[in-house]
Each structure stands twice: as structure tokens, then as C-alpha cells.
Amino acid sequence: MRAAGGLAHRASPFDALLAYLLILLFAFAMSWVGAAIGLTARSVEVAQSAGLIWLFPVTFISSAFVSTHTMPGPLRTVAEWNPVSATATAVRRLFGNPPPAGLPTSDTWPVVHAAPYAVTCACLITGASMLLALRKFRRITLG
């Protein structure tokens, strides 16, 4: 298999384990985003809508479904720095699933260093969302 940069890479069981852990870390971060949104919303219906409204643009403006080279300049930059893109890229690499040989790959920092960037983003998202959710929860419970 060829990975980005032309290096051969076979996924090991350890790489697969790291990929699953990265997916779980990102899911944990997104669960805290959901908790913060749910605690901020005035009703269940608003929480459900607000939980999905931000998700679609963040997911679709990423390299999870489409190569960033098919996107216009500013949108490509957003997609390359998107935590969803970094997580998808890192997980693909860890599972030994590099992009096809003819597909151009970007050399921007978050693409080249997808795994550390994905972990950093997940930790920052978790921390910020956790603080927001806990602050809101304290306001609700203390009156």
C-alpha cells in the first residue's frame, strides 16, 4: 500500500487500535458538544435542531467525503483545517487506507500531521465544551 508521500505502510493491529481510540476520543468530544448544546437549549425540540444544524456544515466542509482539491480556495482551507478532516485522514492512515495514487494530496500542516492535530482538536473541543456544559449545569441546578 502507498501512503501519502510515497511511503509504503501496512496497518498493524496496534495502528488499528490507535485508529479506534482516535474515533472514540473524537466521539467523546462531540458528546460534550451535544451536552453543552442540550443544556443551553430551551426545549427538547430546540436541542435536537441545534444539535444537527452545526453538524452538517462541519461534516460536509471536510475531506471525509470529498477530496479538498475539488473545493474552491477558501473552502479548501477551511476543509483542510477542519477537525473532522484531520480525524478522517488520521484514521484512514492508521487503518492503512491511503488516498488513491492519482489523487493529489495536500501538504498543509493539518494534513501532513493529521493524527496529532486530530488529538489536539478533540482535546480542545472536549475542554471547551465541558467547561461550557458544566457552567450551564451549575447555573441550572443552583438557580
pLDDT for 9: 62
Region 59-67: what's the mean pLDDT? 90
Residue 3 lies in a domain: no
Residue 82 lies in a domain: yes
Residue 134 lies in a domain: yes
> Residues 77-135: pLDDT tens digits?
999 999 999 999 999 999 999 877 777 888 899 999 999 999 999 999 999 999 999 99
Residue 118 belongs to domain spanning: 13-142
Distance CA 29, CA 38 (A): 14
Residue 6 lies in a domain: no
Mean pLDDT of the chain: 89
Residue 7 lies in a domain: no
Specify the number of domains making up the chain.
1
The model's confidence at residue 33, banded by pLDDT at 50, 70 and 90, is very high
Most confident of 21-25, 45-49, 64-68: 21-25
Residue 1 lies in a domain: no
Residue 8 lies in a domain: no
